Amino acid sequence: MAHFLSVMGGLGSAVIGWIALNFFGKPILILREKRREALEVGERYAYVGLDSFDGRLLYDDGMLSRPDRSESDEAQTSFKALHDTGNSLRALARERSIATHLYCRALNYDLDKAASATFGLAEAARGKYVFDERTRRLMLHVLFVALGATHHLSSDEATAARAEMRKWHDGNRDMTIYSSGMPPRVY
């Protein structure tokens, strides 16, 4: 009888472990992976298309330029990467598994705001609207603040990003940056 109880206790522990892994562990691991991907993609593509502004060269990157790739190819690649990342973040926000909800609440992540910032960066990279460097930096800082990666930002930058986040979603959680009352400047 003692052997039977120890076997049943082991099976019960295995079932509880499997449930904990699949219903709590996996969603959190997926969230952490998508968060890191959003931070990487946002940092990588935030300033794509900013090379020329009104026909002038803003900066000379010298040997860092890649003549074998066209600007439209880079803009397409960055738009796709940023847009896919924004869709992933928004899907995680709307999925609302208990584990991801509790994890985001505990760490003060806002996936909807991060997705909106990523979509705004995608539109800036596509080049349909002209966003200056300051606006792109603000969108990138909003992404950092929404995903809790603020250790490298100054307190003024984090405060400005939080103020912008309040403006974006004051009563409307589905707004993106380019519809937030901050009209893009088209030259």
Q: List, for residues 121-154, the tens digit of each pLDDT value.
A: 998 888 777 788 898 999 999 999 999 999 999 9
Q: List, for residues 3-22, the tens digit of each pLDDT value.
A: 877 878 888 888 888 887 88
Q: Has residue 171 got a pLDDT over 80?
A: no
Q: How far is CA 54 from CA 51, 58, 112, 134, 163, in A?
A: 10, 9, 33, 16, 30
Q: Using CA atoms, how far apart are residues 160 and 154, in angstroms rounded to an integer?
A: 10
Is residue 129 within 8 A of residue 123, CB to CB? The reply is yes
Share of the chain above pLDDT 70, in %: 79
Pair of tokens at residue 155: 């307190």
Identify the pLDDT of residue 166.
86
Pair of tokens at residue 100: 């991801």
**pLDDT: which is higher, 97 or 186:** 97
Average pLDDT over residues 23-44: 92
Query: Which amino acid belongs to residue 156?
Result: D
Q: Using CA atoms, how far apart are residues 112 and 98, in angstroms rounded to an integer?
A: 16
Residues 6 or more apart whose CB falls under 8 angstroms from that of 138 comprise 160, 161, 164
Q: List, for residues 50-101, the tens digit of each pLDDT value.
A: 764 444 444 444 444 444 445 578 888 999 999 999 999 999 999 878 889 9
Which of 174, 171, 144, 168 has the alpha carbon at shortest distance from 158? 144
Please state, rounded to an integer, the average pLDDT across all residues of the chain.
80
Average pLDDT over residues 27-54: 86
Identify the pLDDT of residue 170.
60
Average pLDDT over residues 28-54: 86
Q: Using CA atoms, how far apart are residues 19 and 25, in angstroms rounded to an integer?
A: 9
